[in-house]
Structures are given as structure tokens and as C-alpha cells.
């Protein structure tokens, strides 16, 4: 019989609907049952594309014996971390406190009936292995501690609650901490110290793309910092050449398990591909390298082919596994490759993709990567470069077509507001920078989907599936969407987008801002009361909601001359400034806020007849830097606040930096100068 998860929308929860576990979704029914029966809660948090979540499900949750122990001893709650990032933040922090090491997924936490965690771990097998206890044995021990050593557990709970409260608190904002460029300079030095000069990136294995740090470096590069430029472009080249990107179908996997970017954890997530698209467009604009252009085009091709929903918007993720094996959809045997290609094609494709080297995946298969430069292969074979390119292109088409006939990884088809916003921003930015108006049109279509389906009575919803929008939205949903709208308005201005950006910004201030201390809570003021109420400032796998909110509000304030937005951004920056000074590189998004607080962005507004205004915008686009915002407002398009420039019979530019504006300019050459 299906359990209570059968009526949920989350693909991850539905994966567990037929378990022999009496699962509950998070909610009053489960929490009240725990209180009424004086039972501890077994909280399991994961997501649909998570490989080790699947492993634990097969090991434990699908096993009738394990399920019987769970049902006897606990109230069992299953949570999709993508639907409930509020719960995931709280209990990942609790895991860090209790286990004294980083967490991950699946996250396994045992709670007292009042939601306080008293034991935490991640993956557990059914029987002891990997130096981990067997899950049934662990559960018996945890339940025994709850019943036989209740006093110790409750005493620990007081300490855990105090520690969680402390971990979520920020030092009081201090007007005496000066706003200087020192954290920006220190951030580059810190990254230079961590930089891998052989493979790029800023850590040993496993290696994550970490777009925030690369955004920061490219901003510094545009300001003339040669070291920042070198680190960013080198890392982006190495990533794009590795197996962490799908060399046949486009799009990045979540991370590489090795330091060479060769073998990924094969799940593909929407949230990092949007920012990576933005980065590769900027890298292409800086250097014009074919690799950067092809990587950006590959992300968009994957997105539109596999992730676009019929209703509009984009799905969340692709699984790492197919047919029960991680990576099976993506890897190859040498014999299969040879059977699909002509000898001439194989002669070029094998050294290019690394099929002529020893197997790089589990000692049996090959995950394609760019193993050698094509020019080098062409020279060794006595080919013209164009002939080598043609052979590789033909090989890629054949391999991709053959791969399409395989059993595909599962797809998480819920549509998350925040992750859609990250992709919308990447699409719009790349479309503008790379002159691809069709990408901007896709960004507009996704915005229209969100506004039509997830905006109700002045409030956002967090997730959409099967025609239904659900769950009170979080800080990230509002902040990322305002930021995405600012990107799309620079790519192609629409009056409705500016109106919505203002409504979202006003809702952000009304429902999330801490007016006394500054900054923004992750959950709204009327959200369900949880164990703690985080106000995170550091960047994680996704950028900091506080950082993006402060950045977007600051920019919107400069565009419109709206001091409410500027003041809220300044309060947020002031709150987190001591942390930014102490650990600059943990806060790359707030570093961008600091950068533009020190030197406000330059705003360029174009007004006039549609066609010549768009021609001016196209001419200006290659000259724009990270601190520039250009909005092309054809006659007839309305604009609020400081953007309300008079209609003009010929293209006219208004240029302002902070509070200093130049006289209107009617000659393109003068604007370019």
C-alpha cells in the first residue's frame, strides 16, 4: 500500500511512496503524532537526483525489516531539500554541530518531538560497512537513548538550541567599520593562495564549479586585475575541457569527484547551469575563444532540449543514475565508439575525447573529455584543422544520436522559482552579451510563466508542478527573481518587467527584512515557526539570498532613484560587513555589493525610435563592463522614477554614475567615447 507520500508533488517524495515505511511529509500531522505518542522523529532529507539517497533507499527504506524498525521506534518524516530549503539549512547546521563535520545528502537526523535534533548523520547502510553502523542497530541505540537517558538528551537539546541560535546570529552592524576596497583585494589574494595552477579551481577533490568566486574574479578582471583574470579564465577553460561538462549534449554536472574535472557526479542541476552560462558568456566576451562560446551554446542546447517544460519555465534536475547505475547514460566502451564511427572519424575523435587512453570511469568505461587540443591532433595526422573539426563534429553527432536511444536518467520535473530565476538571469545575460535574441526570448517566456503561475495576491510561491503552485516562497525566490528581471530588462526592456521588479522588491522589504538589525531572513515574517530562523550571508552552492537581495536592491535603487531600496541594501551590507572583512571569499556576492557601494554602477538609458535605439544598444554592448547597466527604452515604453526620460525624435543617451549625471548625448560616437 502506498504511504502518505503518494499524494505529494515532489518527485523525490514520490520515489518513496511505495516504501514499507510509514512516511509522513513535514507538517502538523507528523509533529502532533510525535508529541502525542512521545516518540522521537526520524527526519530524512534528500532530493531526487541524489545518488547516495538512492543507495540508502535501496539499502534501507525499501527493505521490509528496516521499515518495521523505523515504524516501531519513530515518527518518520521525509523532506525534499529543494522544496524545503528552510528545513535543510537548519538541520545541516545541526549536523555540523552534532557530528563535528560537514553534512550532505541523504541527511539523517533524529529529533525530539519539539523538533530539536539530538543525533545526526548522512548515509547509513543496512548492515555495518564503510566504518558506519548498520541502520537498524543505530536506530535501536538512538531510541534506547531517548527512553533510557532522557535527561541527558534534553540537557543536550538545550545546548544544541543555544548553539544553533548562536550559529544563526550576526555581530551587530557597526557604522564604525569603514567601507573600503580592502576585502576585495584580500579576496583575490585568498583565492590565489587556494588556486590550483595545474587544473584550475580552488580546492582539491571533489571540485565544485563555485560560480560565485568566478563572478568575483571576472569583476576584478574587468577592473584591470591581471591575476584575477588569469585564475578565472584558466579555471573556466579547464572546466569546459573536462568531463564535468557533458561533451556530447552540453550542460554541467554538479561537481567533479577528482581534481582534474574528469569524472563528475553525473547529476545535472538547473541552479548552477544558469550562473555558469552567465560566466561563459562573459569569458567569451573577454577573449572570444571558441571553447567559451561552444560551452555556453551547449548549456542552452541542453536546457531547451531536456529541461524546458511545456507550460513554460524549466525543470529542476536530471538524475545521476539510470538503470540503477551512476553515469550509465553518459559513459562508453571503446568497442561501442568504434562501431559507430568511421576509421577516419575515430582517428580524430579517440585522442580528442580520450578514448585512446586507459578507461577513466571505474576502470571499465570512458567518460568523454577534451583530452588533447584538436590542432595538435590535426598536425599529428597531417590534416587541415577544418578537416579535423569536421570529423569531430560528425563523431559527436553520431555518438549523441546513439546515446539518445539509451534509457534516460530520471528527471525532477518540479519547477522552482529560485532556480528558474538563476537560469533566466543566465539566459538573458548570455543572450545580450553574445547577441542571441532567441535566448532572451526564452528568458522572457520563463518570466511570463512565473508571473502567470507563481505570483498570487502580491506573494510568490516556491514550486510548481501538475498545474499547481505550492509553498510559501523563500528569500532566494524573491531576491533571485528581482536580479533576473534586472538582467532581462538590460537585454530587452519590457515595462511589465520593471513593474513586477518593483512589486517583488517591495514584497521583499515587507516580508523578509529585519528592519532593526538589517539584512533579510530566509523565511518570511508569516512563515511556519521552526527551530531557528536563519539569515545567511555566505554563498553556498547557490548565491547568498542576502547578497543577491542587497545587490539587486542597490541596482534597482540606482536605476529608479529610490532611496528605500538603497537604504535596505546598505543596512544589509553593514550587518554582514564584519564577516565579509574577516572571510571575504566566503561572501563573493556581498563583495559585489561592496564594490558597487564604493563606486556606484554607471547607468546608461537610451531613448528614441525603436530600431535606431536597438542599433545603439548593439554597438554599446561590447564596451560594457560589470559595473554598467544599459536600458534601451524605445519611444512608447513607459518607465518609472529616474528612468522616465522624455521621448526623443532621434536616439539619445542619458549617462549617470551614482548621483552625477551628464547632459543628454545624441551622437553614438560620443557615447562610445
Which DSSP category does 454 fall into? Answer: S
Q: State which residues form the domain around 292.
A: 182-322+412-598
As for how many domains the chain has, the answer is: 4
For residue 175, being part of any structural domain is answered with no
Beta strand residue intervals within 283-422, DSSP E: 317-318, 321-322, 325-326, 411-412, 415-416
**Residues of the chain predicted below pLDDT 70:** 169-175
pLDDT digits (tens, 9 = 90+) for 396-448: 999 999 999 999 999 999 999 999 999 999 999 999 999 999 999 999 999 99
Residue 1: the pLDDT is 75
For residue 58, being part of any structural domain is answered with yes
- The reply to whether 625 and 594 lie within a common domain is no
H or E segment to which residue 456 belongs? strand 455-456
Residue 171: the pLDDT is 63
Q: How far is CA 131 from the centre of its chain?
A: 32
What SS3 class is residue 587?
coil
End-to-end CA distance of the chain: 72
- The reply to whether 37 and 87 lie within a common domain is yes
Which of the listed residues 367, 388, 405 is the one where a domain comes to its end?
405
CA dist list (Å): 384 to 263, 343, 355, 389: 31, 17, 22, 9
For residue 307, being part of any structural domain is answered with yes
CA dist list (Å): 15 to 9, 67, 263, 280: 11, 15, 26, 35
Residue 130: the pLDDT is 86
Query: What predicted TM-score, i.e. pTM, was given to this entire model?
Result: 0.96
pLDDT digits (tens, 9 = 90+) for 109-154: 999 999 999 999 999 999 999 889 999 999 999 999 999 999 999 9
pLDDT digits (tens, 9 = 90+) for 240-271: 999 999 999 999 999 999 999 999 999 999 99
What is the residue whose three cell numbers read 543628454? Answer: 664
For residue 174, being part of any structural domain is answered with no
Residue 165: the pLDDT is 85
- The reply to whether 249 and 134 lie within a common domain is no
For residue 176, being part of any structural domain is answered with no
Residue 134 CB coordination number (10 Å): 17
H or E segment to which residue 264 belongs? strand 264-265
Q: Report which of 236, 243, 353, 349 is spatially closest to residue 296, judged by C-alpha positions.
A: 236
Residue 628 CB coordination number (10 Å): 17
For residue 481, being part of any structural domain is answered with yes
Residue 624 corresponds to which cell in the numbers above? Answer: 560594457
Amino acid at each position: 500500500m502506498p504511504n502518505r507520500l503518494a499524494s505529494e508533488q515532489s518527485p523525490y517524495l514520490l520515489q518513496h511512496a511505495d516504501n514499507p515505511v510509514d512516511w509522513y511529509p513535514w507538517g502538523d500531522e507528523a509533529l502532533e503524532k510525535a508529541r502525542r505518542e512521545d516518540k522521537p522523529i526520524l527526519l530524512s532529507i534528500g532530493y531526487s537526483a541524489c545518488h547516495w539517497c538512492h543507495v540508502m533507499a535501496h539499502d534501507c527504506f525499501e527493505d521490509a525489516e528496516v521499515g518495521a524498525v523505523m515504524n516501531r521506534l519513530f515518527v518518520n518524516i521525509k523532506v525534499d531539500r529543494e522544496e524545503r530549503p528552510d528545513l535543510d539549512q537548519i538541520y545541516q547546521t545541526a549536523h555540523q554541530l552534532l557530528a563535528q563535520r560537514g553534512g550532505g545528502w541523504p541527511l539523517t537526523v533524529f529529533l525530539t518531538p519539539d523538533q530539536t535534533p539530538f543525533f545526526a548523520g548522512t548515509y547509513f547502510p543496512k548492515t555495518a560497512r564503510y566504518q558506519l553502523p548498520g541502520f537498524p542497530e543505530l536506530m535501536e541505540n538512538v531510541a534506547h537513548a531517548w527512553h533510557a537517558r532522557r535527561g541527558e538528551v534534553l540537557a543536550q537539546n538545550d545546548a544544541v538550541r543555544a548553539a544553533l541560535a548562536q550559529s544563526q546570529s550576526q555581530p551587530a552592524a557597526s557604522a564604525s567599520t569603514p567601507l573600503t576596497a580592502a576585502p576585495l583585494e584580500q579576496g583575490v589574494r585568498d583565492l590565489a593562495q587556494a588556486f590550483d595552477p595545474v587544473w584550475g579551481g580552488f580546492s582539491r577533490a571533489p571540485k565544485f564549479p563555485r560560480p560565485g568566486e568566478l563572478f568575483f574574479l571576472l569583476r576584478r578582471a574587468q577592473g584591470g586585475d591581471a591575476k584575477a583574470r588569469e585564475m578565472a579564465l584558466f579555471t573556466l577553460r579547464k572546466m569546459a575541457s573536462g568531463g564535468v561538462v557533458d561533451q556530447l549534449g552540453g550542460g554541467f554536472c554538479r561537481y567533479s569527484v577528482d581534481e582534474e574535472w574528469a569524472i563528475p557526479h553525473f547529476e545535472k542541476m538547473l541552479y548552477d547551469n544558469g550562473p555558469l552560462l552567465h560566466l561563459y558568456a562573459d569569458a567569451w566576451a573577454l577573449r572570444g575563444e571558441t571553447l567559451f562560446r561552444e560551452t555556453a551554446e551547449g548549456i542552452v542546447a541542453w536546457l531547451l532540449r531536456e529541461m524546458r517544460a511545456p507550460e513554460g519555465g524549466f525543470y529542476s534536475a536530471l538524475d545521476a543514475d539510470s538503470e540503477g547505475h551512476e553515469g550509465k547514460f553518459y559513459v562508453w566502451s571503446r568497442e561501442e565508439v568504434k562501431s559507430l564511427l568511421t576509421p577516419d572519424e575515430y582517428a580524430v575523435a579517440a585522442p580528442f575525447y580520450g578514448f585512446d587512453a586507459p578507461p577513466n570511469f571505474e576502470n571499465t568505461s570512458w567518460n568523454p573529455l577534451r583530452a588533447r587540443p584538436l590542432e595538435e591532433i590535426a598536425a599529428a595526422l597531417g590534416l587541415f584543422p577544418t578537416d579535423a573539426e569536421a570529423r569531430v563534429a560528425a563523431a559527436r553527432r553520431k555518438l549523441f544520436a546513439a546515446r539518445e536511444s539509451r534509457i534516460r536518467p530520471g528527471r525532477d520535473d518540479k519547477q522552482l522559482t529560485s532556480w528558474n530565476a538563476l537560469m533566466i538571469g543566465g539566459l538573458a545575460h548570455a543572450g545580450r552579451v553574445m547577441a542571441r535574441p532567441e535566448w532572451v526570448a526564452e528568458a522572457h517566456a520563463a518570466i511570463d510563466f512565473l508571473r502567470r503561475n507563481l505570483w498570487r495576491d502580491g506573494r510568490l510561491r516556491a514550486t510548481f508542478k501538475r498545474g499547481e503552485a505550492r509553498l510559501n516562497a523563500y528569500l532566494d525566490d524573491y531576491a533571485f527573481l528581482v536580479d533576473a528581471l534586472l538582467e532581462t530588462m538590460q537585454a530587452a526592456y519590457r515595462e511589465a518587467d520593471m513593474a513586477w521588479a518593483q512589486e517583488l522588491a517591495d514584497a521583499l522589504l515587507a516580508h523578509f527584512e529585519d528592519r532593526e538589525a538589517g539584512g533579510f531572513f530566509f523565511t518570511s515574517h508569516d512563515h511556519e515557526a521552526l527551530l531557528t530562523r536563519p539569515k545567511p550571508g555566505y554563498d553556498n552552492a547557490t548565491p547568498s539570498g542576502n547578497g543577491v537581495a542587497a545587490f539587486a536592491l542597490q541596482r534597482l535603487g540606482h536605476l529608479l532613484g529610490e532611496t528605500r531600496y538603497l537604504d535596505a541594501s546598505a543596512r544589509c551590507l553593514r550587518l554582514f560587513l564584519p564577516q565579509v572583512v574577516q572571510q571575504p571569499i566566503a561572501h563573493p556576492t556581498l563583495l559585489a555589493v561592496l564594490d558597487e557601494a564604493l563606486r556606484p554602477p554607471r547607468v546608461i538609458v537610451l531613448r528614441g525610435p525603436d530600431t535606431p535605439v536597438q542599433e545603439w544598444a548593439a554597438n554599446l554592448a561590447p564596451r560594457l563592463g560589470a559595473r554598467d547597466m544599459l536600458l534601451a527604452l524605445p519611444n512608447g515604453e513607459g518607465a518609472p522614477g529616474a528612468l522616465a526620460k522624455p521621448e526623443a525624435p532621434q536616439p539619445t543617451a542619458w549617462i549617470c554614475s551614482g548621483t552625477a549625471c551628464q547632459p543628454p548625448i545624441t551622437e553614438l560616437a560620443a557615447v562610445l567615447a
